[in-house]
A and B are shown apart, each in its own frame.
Chain A
């Protein structure tokens, strides 16, 4: 349960609040994840008054304020279509009005297309205090501990790469039970993530080319048994999803 609520109006006062030693302060953006009823007590810092809602394209770098909502991303002209589509399938219309890109990074699970896409893009996040910049993929395995006492202020995406994703769902609007996101840079560098299970998307490949992509994806699906699908099924999909991603990328 939430025991304290704070709404700082400046970044400075927010950072001051984060220094508190007696309690762990959790930044509250839209609240679609954080405000679900939880047993442990929490102190929240509402970031709605902080200047974290900008979207701008600087050359090839897209910078998204952490408090930008998914609906704002969909509605903004500079946001790439792939990212818009990921926001669209991420959740329903009502939740998109409050869900933020920062909240997604901090809390989305293993069936999130948006998070998988951000990972494929090799997106980075800016974190305060300390003006830290870190790739989401580096932070993700330890995100709970890593983000404690910190505030994501922005997401930075390199738009020079081509990105695709392919998924399998039970129904069109259900979350994926298996998915692959694939990013490829002009240099040939290729990154792939698999998702549809687990606590967060899982890296499959980050290499100078797409060589070995299919076995890498298959390997990343290993051990993914859950209530939605078996690992054997997901592994069997590896080649299909990879081929579809590659074909789609060729058409881009």
Chain B
């Protein structure tokens, strides 16, 4: 049918089918700002304005839109600098989003901007509740919504013509004295409604060194913010190629079976089908989908297509066709005969005698501890000290069992890959990945291509959270491009994300701890039964980190502090469920639920203050990381001293901000006037993470100087919304003495940028950042040398290169003479002894300095129904020096929000036949803007000596403490001992009944 649709005041004539959605029509016509995130309108990433109202274009037929005025993000604002042509610049809403750091991955940003625009066109003075309601239709997995809400309130001020203050630190406190700072203390009746409006920046307890920096430590705007806020076609799927085919995968309907036969003839005969591939059509190459450095620290147990399926959702066949609809139709025409095998859905049964073996393929390659005959993907046995002796010396042994669920990363941008042959017949993969270099290396043998004939381009990534530390779908598109010669577009549906992607490993954990009466831990033991699902990607390393990080925090006191007794054993088993994999926190949140619930239990059993008990036994600066001599992600362990531990300050400051002393254990505070069935509670968890993998994680950076004194910073590091491009640019800019806008950042492309292991293990600021700093130092050295030559040629006094300071885009001599970097660049490129000033550097760290944090939670428990409302989360974090407080706070806020879902609602479960029970964002609810608790971030800086600017990791630690803090708060509220998360109403109710 032919339609006329008015889009951004231009009438578009389109020929479309009756069922085509407005989103499809928009994207086919280049309006890429309407993103795909789901198929049922729950995520709202596809939102546009229809007659001024935000609606989800995936649920509007193109035909429905006829007669209405459609506005897309492409019709809002423009880049403020477009040459001789004056532009209107960004809209007030866009400007505010950029300034407040409301943009992380930017995938949902166009929809949020449109929703905010619609609100402010009707109501220029909205309150916070109205803003949150207006944003409720757009799910964001990155920000925790705090900064988007602040952005809308700020934009409203712009539109009202009010003075808007620049984003500046709300409060910086020099860490000189032992001072506890209380700011914005809540009023007795609760928290100010305007807490969100108090300030964009977190409270920072700064180090002395921070004061000397000009760019590091400042709330610089994200370098990719302006394109993202305009909805530019920056993501993997925002591309059209001539002759592009669309891929679909036939997924297994059974949990475990051999494929007896496949008849794809009907599918192949369907007009418009270009290729159907089964296991018989492609080489059988065993590999691991885990995106990790070589050698992969885990079993090789996966094939692109196999003659056996191991979970409902496993791959059976690939199809490429002219349209998605034809591909979907073709998938249904493939006839498969399965020999159904018994399946294992319960991890406790995986290693039972006589259990069916999932991986009986002869090509299986074991890694340390894997034993496929016992369905064991990995086995971990770590003994530090003499645990049995420690137990024997204890006055009390306390044990407990805990359970953590399988959960989904749920990045709003699904997995997506576009593959094509370039003009040199090299295979190009434009893909949403955290690990472009690992993807290239791992895929080469799978595709029968040498590494040099593959190029992986990582555009902007719409969130990853570990889900894209997996070479999950790139091979599908690539095989189909090889088969057809055509470009192939393959994008997961939201259902596929739940049924055929990766997730957090669910675990059943037993804790056993020996303590003295005075609270000294004499021995601490954890056993984890970890369920890796059908394949062992990340099996060893995720589960290893469960113990490596959470069990390292409490070493004991006195003599035990010097020689702690710690045991961590784990079995990582195969089951016929979708595979687990990497998910932000990488096994550590699974560890902290049992450890922190257990510590609370022990403290209460001993009658001790639970915080005092924790700090008495917690690791301190100058002490050895207890696991550093025993385990290092499957590699050789080496001893490591922890130099910076800000945990006590985190506890002290966090306690002050949340008002701990007035609330904890206070029966009066627990009561809610007029609501006898409600109880307030407050809880804490203390946590530590890691920063990169020592002696393994490597990142490279290249910096090149341009004519105008600006620089190209090329990095293999993978900014998946975290702001790492910006943070790396800040550090390089600090060294080069230029503003951040003079750093032109590009990441990442295996052809053009240096190697980087990718975005995982909280390593980018630390590892890739150090590489960027070192490259900048080399460039700075060349600049100083040339500046000295230029100054000395004027014979007005000699200056040594090393005495020249780079600042304000100038080379400044001690006597005050200065030359602009532009003049130096011209001199180098055009005038004398011509050279390209540039440098490359790479970095690998010998240490992994842990960040520390104190996580606090306040809850309201309905003691009759078990319903829990988390009302406030405060996190005080020692991440070393904070390079950019806005992006770092965004990491904490967004991380706490993901962790909140882990604590109270998110859970992936399966039917008795292994089918996923959650296939959409209705049954798997993600927190929305209109239901968030108060979020507050405090940064307690330490200066980590192993990083040039004193930084440690920030991205993963917010995932660790929320669940146990909530669990401990529930305990404080009503004495309910919850063993398992999420804390659903029924689980809490049962715990209350069991008291």
Residues 20-69 of B contacting A (Cβ, < 8 Å): 21, 39-42, 44, 47, 50, 53-56, 58-61, 63-64, 66
Report chain B residues within 8 Å CB of A240. 677, 864-865
Task: Say yes or no: is A236 at the interface (Cβ < 8 Å to chain B).
Answer: yes
Q: Which residues of A are found within 8 Å of B867, using beta-carbon distances?
A: 168-170
Closest A residue to B868 by CB, please name it.
A170
A36 touches B59 (CB 8 A): yes
List A8-41 residues whose CB lies under 8 Å from chain B: 28, 30-32, 35-37
Q: In the complex, what's the smallest C-beta–C-beta distance from B151 to chain A, in angstroms?
A: 17
Q: Judging by beta carbons under 8 Å apart, are A35 and B904 in contact?
A: no
Residues of A within 8 A of B42 (CB): 92
B839 on the interface (CB 8 Å rule)? no
Q: Contact: A177 with B985, CB < 8 Å?
A: yes
Residues in B with CB closer than 8 Å to A227 are 909, 917-918, 923
Instruction: Kindly state the separation between the CA atoms of A3 and B61 in the bound complex, as whole angstroms.
Output: 12
Tell me whether A172 is interfacial, beta carbon within 8 Å: yes
Q: Is B966 an interface residue (CB 8 A)?
A: no
Q: CB-CB contacts of B904-943 with A at 8 A, as 1s and 0s?
A: 1100010000000110001101011011000000000000
Chain B residue numbers with a CB within 8 Å of A230 are 986
Report yes or no: B54 in contact with A93, Cβ–Cβ below 8 A. Answer: yes
Contacts of A229 in B (CB 8 A): 984-986
- B909 with A32: CB separation less than 8 A: no
Task: Say yes or no: A98 contacts B55, CB within 8 Å.
Answer: yes
Query: Are A168 and B865 in contact, CB atoms less than 8 angstroms apart?
Result: yes
Whether A192 is near chain B, meaning CB under 8 Å from some CB there, is no
A95 touches B137 (CB 8 A): yes
Q: Which of B56, B677, B923 interacts with A95 by CB under 8 Å?
A: B56
Complex CA gap A2/B18 in Å reads 6
- In the complex, the answer to whether B864 meets A44 with C-beta atoms within 8 Å is no
* CB within 8 Å of B: which A27-83 residues: 28, 30-32, 35-37, 42, 44, 46, 48, 71
- Which residues in B have their C-beta under 8 angstroms from that of A94? 41, 44, 47, 54-56, 115, 136-138
Q: Which residue of A170, A171, A228, A229 has the most chain B CB atoms within 10 A of its CB atom?
A: A171
Q: Which residues of A contact B63 (CB under 8 A)?
A: 5, 7, 46
Inter-chain CA distance A230–B19, complex, in Å, is 39
Q: Using an 8 Å CB-CB cutoff, how does the interface string of A78-92 with B read, 1 for contact, 0 for none?
A: 000000000010001
Assess whether A36 is in contact with B18, with CB atoms less than 8 Å apart. Answer: no
- Does A97 have its Cβ within 8 Å of any Cβ on chain B? yes
Given the complex of chains A and B, what is the CA–CA distance between A229 and B985 in angstroms? 9
Cβ-based interface call for A233 (8 A): yes
**B136 engages A93 (CB within 8 Å):** yes
Q: Are A36 and B931 in contact (CB under 8 A)?
A: no
Are B64 and A168 in contact (CB-based, < 8 A)? Answer: no
If the complex has contacts A48-B64, A227-B923, A229-B985, are A93 and B137 also in contact, measured as CB distance less than 8 A?
yes
**In the complex where A36-B39, A237-B865 touch, is A92 in contact with B55 (Cβ < 8 A)?**
no
Flag whether B1 is at the interface (Cβ < 8 A): yes
- Per-position binary interface string of chain B over residues 565-605, scored 1 when its CB falls under 8 Å from any chain A CB and 0 otherwise: 00000000000000000000000000000000000000000
User: A222 in the interface, Cβ–Cβ < 8 Å?
Assistant: no
Contact A174-B19, Cβ < 8 Å, known A32-B41, A95-B41: no
Residue tally, chain A, CB below 8 Å to B:
45
Cα–Cα distance between A88 and B137 once the two chains are bound (Å): 12
CA distance A237 to B985 in the complex (A): 11
B19, A172: Cβ atoms under 8 Å? no
Q: Is A44 a contact of B18 with CB atoms below 8 Å?
A: yes
Contact code string B594-624 (vs A, CB < 8 Å = 1, else 0):
0000000000000000000000000000000
Find chain A residues with CB under 8 A from B905 CB.
170-171, 174
A175 at the interface (CB under 8 A from B): yes
Instruction: Please tell me if B133 contacts chain A, counting CB pairs below 8 Å.
Output: yes
Given A93-B115, A94-B47, A227-B917: A170 in contact with B55 (beta carbons within 8 A): no
Chain A residues within 8 Å of B133, by CB = 88, 93
Query: In the complex, what distance in Å separates the CA atom of A97 from the CA atom of B325?
Result: 28
**In the complex, which residues of chain A have a beta carbon less than 8 angstroms from the beta carbon of B918?**
227
Alpha-carbon gap, A46 to B1, bound state (A):
15
Measured between beta carbons, the chain B residues less than 8 angstroms from A37 are 39
Contact call B928/A173, Cβ cutoff below 8 A:
yes
Q: Are A31 and B44 in contact (CB under 8 A)?
A: no
Report if B135 contacts A (CB, 8 A): yes
- Tell me the B170-188 residues at the A interface (CB within 8 Å): none
Give Cα distance in the complex from A206 to B63, angstroms.
43
CA distance A48 to B66 in the complex (A): 11
Q: Are A35 and B931 in contact (CB under 8 A)?
A: no
A133 at the binding interface (Cβ < 8 Å): no
Rounded to whole Å, the gap between the CB of A69 and the closest CB of chain B is 9
Instruction: Verify if B134 is at the interface (C-beta below 8 Å from A).
Output: yes
> Closest 5 A-B residue pairs measured CB to CB?
A94-B137, A2-B19, A172-B931, A173-B931, A5-B18
User: Which residues from chain B sit less than 8 Å from chain A, CB to CB?
Assistant: 1, 18-19, 21, 39-42, 44, 47, 50, 53-56, 58-61, 63-64, 66, 115, 133-138, 325, 677, 862, 864-867, 869, 904-905, 909, 917-918, 922-923, 925, 927-928, 930-931, 982, 984-986, 989-990
Listed by A's residue number, 9 A-B pairs whose Cβ atoms lie within 8 Å are A32-B41, A35-B58, A92-B137, A93-B115, A96-B137, A97-B54, A98-B55, A170-B984, A173-B928
Given A97-B54, A174-B925, 20 new contacts (CB under 8 A): A1-B19, A1-B325, A3-B19, A31-B59, A35-B60, A44-B61, A93-B133, A93-B137, A94-B47, A94-B54, A94-B56, A98-B59, A169-B985, A170-B925, A171-B925, A171-B931, A227-B917, A227-B923, A229-B986, A240-B864
